[in-house]
């Protein structure tokens, strides 16, 4: 069910059949991805699904065992230097120096990008302003909050104004406010024409930012679609019905919904009518409902749904 896109020069990132094993453990089992220029693809998956490995291969930090990838028009294996010139990476682990100030960090990286003294200093100043760090510019990064450190990390990735940006779980561990602030920054980058591949564990984050979402599970892309289509497929909300255990099989057949736990069934609801209809049906069949709960779909639901369809 992988969507097939045609490969063209307008794609910022194209990966085909990426395979990677660590020892006997196969981490990637053939990843296909396409990020059209100027768009954001969210790579959505739980821990250990292969998101970071994919990012490390696409950013030349790790050679693939098989498959190919072209980033910014350059092959990641054959032409790593050219790829590195076209990309910025914000890894999961903060990659800024705690003992240096925010400004010193950015000036160091500007120097290592060979921007030259005055241009480097100007670039650092611009980025500090843009990422709302001007007030903290002369403080050591060790004193920064988690959100500020992520913003600095992102700023460091933008020093050379790369056309392509990789963000590996940029908001993991951030408080809700910092997360929303970071989203705003990412939207700005996107509006300025940057092509972005972002990994996340949060469906909401993918929904907020992405033009397209690739769901990854156990090293495979199990869905690749727009957030709207994905949510339609997954259902807007989850209805959890608590029943007597004896009633679960009958209710499950009646509603053609898989039984979840021993005394629960969970199904996607398509709006208020569907909800009323479901409860009516159970009532007519004489099945008492002990408790009704509505919740937004989680990543678990997405996986349950998608892997169920794939199987």
Residues forming contacts to other proteins in the complex (CB under 8 A) are: 56, 59-63, 81, 84-85, 87-89, 91-97, 99-100, 104, 108-109, 111-114, 140, 156
Name residues whose C-beta falls within 8 Å of residue 142's C-beta, 6 or more positions apart in sequence: 98, 99
Task: Tell me how far, at minimum, the Cβ of 305 lies from other proteins, in Å.
Answer: 33
Note the Cα 249 to chain centre separation in Å.
Answer: 36
What H or E segment, with its residue span, contains residue 303? helix 299-310
- The structure tokens listed for 129 are 């302003």
Please state the closest distance from residue 95 (CB atom) to other proteins, in A: 4
DSSP bridge partners of 196? 40, 165
Question: Nearer to other proteins by C-beta: 37 or 95?
Answer: 95
CA atoms within a 13 Å half-sphere pointing along the CA-CB vector of 208:
18
Find the shortest distance in angstroms from Cβ 88 to other proteins: 7
Yes or no: say if 83 and 72 are a contact pair by the CB < 8 Å rule.
yes
* Residue 188 beta carbon to other proteins: minimum distance, rounded to whole angstroms: 22
49 versus 59: smaller Cβ distance to other proteins: 59
Work out how close the CB of 145 gets to other proteins at its nearest, in angstroms, rounded to a whole number: 18
Strand partners, 20: 28
Kindly tell me which of 182 and 268 has the beta carbon lying closer to other proteins.
Answer: 182
| Residue (34 or 59) nearer to other proteins, CB | 59
Nearest-approach distance from CB 108 to other proteins, in angstroms: 6
Quote the CA–CA distance of 250 and 98 in Å, as a whole number: 60
- Nearest distance in Å: CB 143, other proteins: 12
Cβ proximity to other proteins: between 116 and 258 the closer is 116
Cα separation, 161 vs 235, whole angstroms: 39
Contacts of 232 (CB under 8 A, 6+ apart): none
**How far lies 26's CA from each of 32, 115, 216, 230, in Å?**
16, 41, 14, 27
> Considering beta carbons, is residue 12 or 215 the nearer one to other proteins?
12
- Alpha helices by DSSP H, listed for 59-175, are 80-86, 102-112, 117-130, 146-157
**Which residue number, 68 or 92, has a Cβ lying nearer to other proteins?**
92
């Amino acid at each position: 069910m992988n969507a097939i896109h045609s490969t063209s020069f307008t794609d910022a990132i194209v990966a085909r059949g990426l395979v990677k094993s660590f020892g006997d453990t196969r981490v990637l089992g053939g990843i296909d991805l396409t990020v059209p220029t100027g768009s954001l693809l969210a790579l959505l998956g739980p821990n250990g699904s292969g998101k970071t490995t994919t990012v490390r291969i696409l950013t030349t930090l790790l050679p693939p065992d098989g498959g190919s990838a072209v980033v910014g028009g350059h092959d990641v294996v054959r032409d790593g230097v050219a790829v590195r010139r076209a990309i910025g990476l914000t890894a999961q682990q903060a990659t800024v120096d705690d003992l240096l100030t925010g400004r010193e960090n950015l000036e160091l990286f500007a120097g290592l990008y060979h921007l030259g003294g005055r241009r480097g200093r100007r670039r650092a100043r611009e980025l500090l302003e843009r990422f709302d760090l001007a007030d903290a510019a002369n403080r050591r990064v060790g004193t920064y909050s988690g959100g500020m450190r992520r913003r600095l990390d992102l700023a460091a990735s933008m020093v050379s104004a790369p056309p392509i940006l990789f963000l590996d779980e940029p908001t993991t561990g951030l408080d809700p406010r910092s997360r929303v602030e970071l989203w705003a920054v990412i939207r700005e980058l996107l509006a300025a024409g940057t092509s972005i591949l972002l990994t996340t564990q949060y469906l909401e984050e993918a929904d907020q930012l992405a033009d397209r979402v690739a769901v990854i599970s156990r090293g495979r892309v199990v869905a690749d679609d727009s957030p709207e289509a994905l949510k339609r497929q997954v259902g807007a909300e989850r209805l959890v019905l608590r029943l007597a255990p004896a009633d679960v099989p009958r209710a499950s057949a009646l509603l053609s919904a898989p039984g979840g736990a021993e005394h629960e069934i969970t199904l996607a609801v398509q709006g208020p009518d569907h909800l009323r209809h479901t409860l009516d049906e159970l009532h007519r069949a004489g099945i008492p409902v002990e408790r009704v709960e509505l919740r937004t779909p989680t990543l678990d639901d997405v996986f349950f749904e998608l892997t169920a369809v794939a199987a």
